[in-house]
Each structure stands twice: as C-alpha cells, then as structure tokens.
Amino acid sequence: MVTENPFGQVLVAMVTPMSVDGEVDWPGVESLMESLISHGADGLVVTGTTGETSTLTDAEKIQLVKTGKSVSGGRAKIITGGGSNETAHAIELYKASEKAGADGVMVVTPYYNKPTQAGVLTHFRLIADATDLPVILYDIPGRSGIEIKYDTILRAAKHPNIRAVKDAKGDLSEVSRVMNQTDLLYFAGDDANALPTLAIGGTGLIGVTANIAPEPYRIIVDAVNRSDLAAATAQHKLLEPLVRATMTHVPGTVATKYILHGLGRISSPRVRLPLVGPEESEAALIENDIALVHGVAGADFSNFRPDRNAAAGGALPKVAGTTR
C-alpha cells in the first residue's frame, strides 16, 4: 500500500531573512519563498531550527505561516516547525499555526529538560490530539539532548495524525527498521543523507542547503522516483562541497545566510544572538569549499561576493523571542 504524502518531497528548512538590526525582513522573506517554490520546492518549513525559532516571537512565527500561504498560493505546502519544550506552549503555537493556514506541523523532541521516553511520547500525542494537521516528528538528538527511541516511534506511529519523521539521527538501519514496521514517511534531516535516505525508501528531505540550491534536490528526488540512481548520484556528488560549506563549519543558519548574501539573494546575512556570523577563519573555510562548487543547478557562484564585515556579530531584536 502506498502511503498518502501530505507534505511533498523537496522541503526547504527555510532561513528567516533579517535586516541589519535583526528585525525580520518581510519583503526578503517573500522574495526567498517565491524563489524556492519556483525552483522546485514542494514545501517550506518555516520557524524551524534553520529559521531561528529560538529567537523568533510567537507573532513572528504565525506571520511567517501567513506569509508563506500568501506567497505559495497553493503551489507548495507551508509547514510550521520549532514548537517548544513546554507542551502547553507547543500546543498553543500549533493551534495558532493551524488557524493561520499551515498545511502541517513539525514537532521537535523536547530539548534541554530531557524527559523520559514516556514524556516524549506524551508530548507528541497531546500535540497531535490538539490539531487536525499532519505531524512530522523531528528526531535530532544532537540539539535536543535525547533521541526518539525505536519503540517510542512505533508507539507514536499509531496516532492517526502522526505521519512522518524528520531524521537527523543518521541511523539508516533504524530508519529501515521503522519503515518496515510502520507507514511513517521518512525525510532526511541531514543534507548529506538525502540520497541515502531516498535510496532505502525514504520519502524526501527537509534540507538546509536547499535554501541555496533547491533544483538539484528536485532532480535527485525525480530521478529516484523513476529509478534512475545514476542521475541522482551525479547530483549528490555535485552537491557535496556545497553541503560541506553549509553544514560543517558554523551552524547551518549562519552559513546559509552568509552564502545567500554573497549571492545577492538576501539583503543582509544577519542572525540573532546568540548566533553570530562566521569568524575570519570560519569564513575562509566556507569560501574554500564554495570555490569547489561547480555544475550545481541554480547555483552560479561566478559572482559570489561574500561580505565578512556585514556578517560579523549578531543582533538583539527589539522584542525578545518567546520560545522557552
């Protein structure tokens, strides 16, 4: 039986463009959304880790959903990420997102407070009970401090609204095991694992590098869908230095904004504190990797002009974020 997919396959973990003083650049948000959708994205995950959820206000998060719905005009799904490590606050956010028009929600494992697996499962179930939207569970132990264990995933999969997992754990043998036992859709949450995840039967990716180049991921997914592994592998290889530039030297948000600004696609590379722009040595590593990028569809680096001074430091917004 083929499981219905309410999310799409090429999903972008979208950055939130900001002005030099750290306020959301709403025209920049609209422009980036339009570019991503028109170049192959099936969906945008807003207010996630890459979107700086920890330093966005609740009002900004809801406005990002509304803006996404307005820009997409039904061409792409708008999925709200982030949530909270406080269950009651997460429920409030996801209800508001549903009212704002979100097509789905991505629920991260509660971070910092490190609940037991029983607490993790209860968190997921209560959120899924509170919304009619399809839910993606986000398994990212490197950030949350705990994983979603295999047995917990199986139990969560019994909830009718829990439809998918974004896997940033990278244990592909467990991914195969879960897919054998459930109808859950699996999305690669690590850009380097996009093709490997698809090759073992995964659904798609929720990618950071796709902010810069969604087209090659579209090519990879379409190639896998028609069983053309050679074509998919060729794109995977071309993407390798760009993925390395984006994901290995500084937080993905920081590198992505640095690169997008250098390409002239956003007005500022600014991030909100405690994130800061790359230091000189880190910027050099990013630029060295970018110099190796060639043949990537939709990513012409011949006019790449990174601005280390513009990226330096981080911003304190006028209103503090509301993620606890």
Is-catalytic flag, 258? no
Q: How many beta carbons lie within 10 A of that of residue 45, not counting itself?
A: 30
How many Å apart are CA 106 and CA 53, to the nearest integer?
Answer: 12
User: Sign (positive/negative) of CA torsion 304, 310, 312, 313?
Assistant: negative
Q: How is residue 37 written in tokens?
A: 């959708």
Query: Could you tell me if 110 and 85 are in contact, meaning their C-beta atoms sit under 8 angstroms apart?
Result: yes
Q: Which residue has the tokens 């991921």?
A: 217
Query: Could you tell me if 58 and 10 are in contact, meaning their C-beta atoms sit under 8 angstroms apart?
Result: no
Is-catalytic flag, 138? yes
The residue annotated as part of the active site, out of 94, 138, 186, 258, is: 138
The residue annotated as part of the active site, out of 166, 169, 257, 258, is: 166
Q: How many CA atoms lie within 13 A of 16 on its CB side?
A: 28
Q: Which residue has the tokens 């409030």?
A: 92
DSSP string computed for 94-155: HHHHHHHT-SEEEEEPPPSS---HHHHHHHHHHHHHH-SS-EEEEE-HHHHSS---HHHHHH
Query: Could you tell me if 245 and 273 are in contact, meaning their C-beta atoms sit under 8 angstroms apart?
Result: no
CB contact set of 22 (below 8 Å; sequence gap of 6+): 270, 271, 272, 314, 315, 316, 317
Query: Could you tell me if 214 and 14 are in contact, meaning their C-beta atoms sit under 8 angstroms apart?
Result: no
How many Å apart are CA 235 and CA 147, to the nearest integer?
Answer: 30
Give the residue numbers marked as catalytic.
138, 166
